[in-house]
Amino acid sequence: MAASETTTVDAGGRELRVSSPNRVIFPATERSGAVTKLDIVEYYLAVADGIMRALKRRPTTLERWPKGVHPGIVVSTREKGGGDAFFQKRIPRGAPDYVQTARIQFPSGRHADEICPTEVAAVGWAAQMGTLTFHPWPVRREDVDHPDELRIDLDPQAGTDFADAVRVAGEARVLLEELGYAGFPKTSGGRGVHIYVRIEPRWTFTDVRRAAIAFGRELERRLPGQVTTNWWKEERGERIFVDYNQNARDRTIASAYSIRPKAGAPVSAPVSWDELREIAPEEFTVTTMPARFAERGDRHAAIDDAAHSLEPLLDRYERDVAEGYADLPYPPDYPKMPGEPKRVQPSRDRDRPR
């Protein structure tokens, strides 16, 4: 089949046209064969139940790599656009009627209509458009201002690795059980571990972020020298960073089953708590995940069975405040937030003339 040809696939009962199906998106490596555009589309259709559980009715930013993941590809950033790969927050022009949207508001006050998958054909269409990674908001389109998900992002820093993140996740599991929460872990698709907790959608983004801060501070107390909530990289050291700002408005995490733009086409894989101690994240790829999914199903199948109260964590946050703990910095592109401490790196603050 020539690169300019097209093919069609069945996407949940809809006929989905895939252009340039043989275009290589991930070149072959020593451990894996080349992955084509059609392979990407078929992967998402093979894990349809899982990816829809992660995305359904959620405003979703698309991470698009239409030219593939090759050496020399330039990625657009918040500061500099114009790259070959980019994040798309607004629905692309020409989207089919079945690709629905949800309107979300950014911290700046501006808004956008993001795609909001309601069926797997929308996911397949996005993949056909070059989307590798889906970044859903922790809200449903019925109420985009009140998250229904707490996200614990365990991010290894220099000098630490996946095994360190797994060790911290083990203590996070203990803490979740003490709180009465059901936590659902997954690999990040790299060295990190993500844990999701469904919550009642009655708190603001600010509240959920504070709950994540409280959770991270408790992990710091339980695992001194192994965990940090320090926002500034120069202060984190060789520890696992609990990235509480992933719970701020307009911050997202790659969804379960999302493909990551790295050699070998790894995916963010839902796992059981027991599996987490045994697996290597590189085991989960576009090539291997469909067979695992067919055999074992979605490890997050029960994630919607219960929604929890944030009150225990918000109570901890208030106790920390009473003991002298302050709020923590927001990302640098945010407007100054109420109660936020000075947004300046401590070393630079010390170096400023008085």
State whether 182 and 319 are in the same domain.
Answer: yes
Expressed as residue numbers, the domain containing 67 is: 6-136
Place of tokens 């996946």: 162
Domain boundary among 115, 136, 157: 136
CB atoms under 10 Å from CB of 309, counted, come to 14
354 residues of the chain, pLDDT tens digit each: 444 599 999 999 999 999 999 999 999 999 899 999 999 999 999 999 999 999 999 999 999 999 999 999 989 987 778 889 999 999 999 999 999 999 999 999 999 999 999 999 999 999 999 999 999 999 999 999 999 999 999 999 999 999 999 999 999 999 999 999 999 999 999 999 999 999 999 999 999 999 999 999 999 999 999 999 999 999 999 999 999 999 999 999 999 999 999 999 999 999 999 999 999 999 999 999 999 999 999 999 999 999 999 999 999 999 999 999 999 999 988 988 888 888 777 655 544 433
Residues 6+ apart with CB under 8 A from 322: none
CA 140 to CA 302: how far, in whole Å?
18
Q: Which tokens go with 32?
A: 């894996």
pLDDT of res. 325:
94
State whether 240 and 315 are in the same domain.
Answer: yes
Residue 36 domain-assigned (yes or no):
yes
**Identity of the amino acid at 125:** W
State whether 101 and 69 are in the same domain.
Answer: yes
State whether 104 and 186 are in the same domain.
Answer: no
Based on the structure, what is the number of domains in the chain? 2
Please, are residues 124 and 11 in contact by the beta-carbon 8 Å criterion? yes
State whether 78 and 119 are in the same domain.
Answer: yes
pLDDT of res. 337:
85
pLDDT of res. 347:
58
CATH of the domain at 208: 3.30.70.3300
Residue 258 domain-assigned (yes or no):
no
Q: E-strand spans in the chain? A: 6-11, 14-19, 24-26, 35-36, 60-64, 86-88, 101-105, 111-115, 131-136, 149-156, 184-187, 193-198, 227-228, 240-242
CATH of the domain at 17: 3.90.920.10
Could you give phi then psi for residue 285, rounded to 5 degrees?
-135, 175
State whether 27 and 174 are in the same domain.
Answer: no
Q: Which tokens go with 159?
A: 């000098």
Please, are residues 270 and 256 in contact by the beta-carbon 8 Å criterion? yes
Please, are residues 276 and 185 in contact by the beta-carbon 8 Å criterion? yes
Residue 49 domain-assigned (yes or no):
yes
Domain boundary among 80, 114, 136: 136
Q: Which tokens go with 115?
A: 């795609």
Alpha carbon distances (Å) from 62 to 11, 207, 270, 278: 19, 26, 20, 31
Distance of CA 178 to the CA centre of its chain: 25
Q: Which tokens go with 141?
A: 């389109």
State whether 173 and 131 are in the same domain.
Answer: no
Please, are residues 154 and 194 in contact by the beta-carbon 8 Å criterion? yes
DSSP alpha helix (H) spans, 93-146: 120-128
State whether 61 and 132 are in the same domain.
Answer: yes
Beta strands 149-156 and 193-198 are antiparallel
Please, are residues 122 and 114 in contact by the beta-carbon 8 Å criterion? no
Residue 141 domain-assigned (yes or no):
no
State whether 47 and 120 are in the same domain.
Answer: yes
Residue 218 domain-assigned (yes or no):
yes
220 SS3 class: helix
Instruction: Quote the pTM value.
Output: 0.95
State whether 87 and 181 are in the same domain.
Answer: no
CA 142 to CA 125: how far, in whole Å?
23
Residue 219 domain-assigned (yes or no):
yes
**Identity of the amino acid at 3:** A
State whether 64 and 208 are in the same domain.
Answer: no
Residue 266 domain-assigned (yes or no):
no
State whether 22 and 125 are in the same domain.
Answer: yes
Residue 287 domain-assigned (yes or no):
no
CA 137 to CA 63: how far, in whole Å?
13
